[in-house]
Amino acid sequence: MLKKILPLIRPVYVGDCLGEHQLRPLARVGAIQMLNQLLGTAIGIVAAVVLSRLISPSAFGLVAMVVFFRGLMQIFGAAGFVEAAVQKKNLTLNQLNGVFWLNAGVCTLLAIIFMACGPLISSFYGEPALAAICLVYGLLFILENLFLTHGALLRRTMNSELLLVLTFFPQMVGLITSIAMALYGFEVWAIVGGAVLTSITSRLLYLYFVRWHPGSLKLGSGFKEMFSYGIKSCSATIVNYLSQYSQTLALGRFASATDVGFYNRGQTLFQIPIQQISWPIAQLILPALASLQDDRKKMLELILRATWLVALATLPFATFMAIYGDWALAWLLGAQWGVSGQVAQWLAVASIPILISNLLARGNAAIGRPGRGVIIVLLSLPFLLSGIYFCSLEGAVAVAKFYALYRWMLYPILISYHLKGSGFDSRLFVRSQLQLLLLSLIALILLSVGRVYFPDLEGLRQIPVMLCGGLVAYATFYLGFRRLAFGQTVLYWLYSKFGQKLGIPKSLFS
């Protein structure tokens, strides 16, 4: 694969990225994305494990407190106006320039506000060190967002080869920097330093490989629609972000930095493998869906195929972590991180409905309805925030339990609302959801047997039970996929695109 990738790692020019979506074979793009995901997962896990053994929980908690507010700012650039450039069916140079300047202006203003609010954030949490961290992340935020539009051009043309380079090398630089600084006892600044070097390296690579210099701002035809799309996308992402990460805010304010650190490590180590698979597919599928937005039947077929592909890769891991997450994280991080393991277990339970339904929202975004579920999540926020507030007084595990309850309560409501008026076949989508839920339930029951019969295992005796549990989880989903129509479609697609070329027997896919 590397022989095919290397010749394509060359600078691209803006003229090649404009006009209509330039679709490429999803199998090739998917294979490169898979390699990118595997590398990203490996780097993320190594970083989490090594740094967790070198840096205290409170240091991770301090950074997580700042990252919560920084993430809110990031939404305006990454998930709003720039996303409109990816979704636009026919993109012009003037529209691209408009997106760049709008994004740059909004993000610079937000960064200035964020840095000015550093002392207030520090006072809110009662942690003096946060003001300096806010200053660094604010300056870094301006640098990062100047090149988001360049990344949108690569996503629009599905240039997975360059995206691999622009993701992998900066991560390696950041990892090496963080480990070196941690060894010299920099604690919090080891984490911040790694983030700084990652961003600088990434932006230098974008500057070299994406040959485009923004022109003057001209608000031509079509920009109003893109602006409207960006506002809807921003509002949807902000509300969803608050529903997923407000736990950090509550724990930092009403508990301690150590509690935030425990929650952050559990959340990070669970989400690294999940996000390295589900997030790139969600990004990749948007331009493909946008090109099919006039044919809802084909759109739904692509959504379901991608959903089942994500499920095959992630649900076995999620069900495994729901049962054995505390054992797994104790082995990775050490016994002192036991609370993080329990957090990961409940976050795994919360992730199941998200993993099997999240791509429906991408379908709505592709047809110009990126803010479809905002009102539902917004109405549920008071319930979520009040629950997190009361649970934060009892610690990180109680917050994770409540969050799992919230996600399962919201799941059927969001599904119904997203399907209404979408033009998709509701019965077909619901049948797909029920089958995935059934497979998840069977896997959870089978995995629970090991914990029931061996509740007090310690040390090396946990390893064979966990290995058997992992095999059971993946075997359950694999066998289920072979018997169900949706799963058979995905297995056949995997065989036709990858298995046949690699010489894998067809019997394993049918």
Per residue in 54-68, pLDDT (tens digit) is 898 889 888 888 888
**Does position 87 have pLDDT exceeding 80, yes or no?**
no
Q: Where are the domains of the chain?
A: 15-508
Least confident of 272-281, 365-374, 496-505: 496-505
Predicted confidence band of residue 472 (pLDDT cuts 50, 70, 90): very high
Backbone angles phi, psi at 20, to 5 degrees: -80, 165
DSSP state at residue 255: S
Instruction: Give the list of residues 6+ apart from residue 454 with CB closer than 8 angstroms, or none.
Output: 461, 465
| Alpha carbon distance 36, 38 (integer Å) | 6
Predicted confidence band of residue 79 (pLDDT cuts 50, 70, 90): very low
The residue written with tokens 């109405």 in the block is 379
The H-or-E segment that residue 91 falls in is: strand 90-91
**Does position 395 have pLDDT exceeding 60, yes or no?**
yes
Long-range Cβ pairs for the range 401-409 (8 Å, 24+): 401/346, 403/247, 403/346, 403/347, 403/350, 404/346, 404/347, 404/349, 404/350, 406/243, 406/350, 406/380, 407/350, 407/351, 407/353, 407/354, 408/349, 408/350, 408/353, 409/380
Please give the C-alpha separations between residue 415 and each of 276, 279, 361, in angstroms, as whole numbers: 24, 19, 9
Average pLDDT, the chain: 82
The residue-averaged pLDDT of 446-471 equals 87
Per residue in 161-207, pLDDT (tens digit) is 777 788 888 989 999 999 999 999 888 999 999 999 998 998 888 88
350 and 404 Cβ atoms separated by less than 8 Å = yes
Write out the two tokens for 415: 């599904």
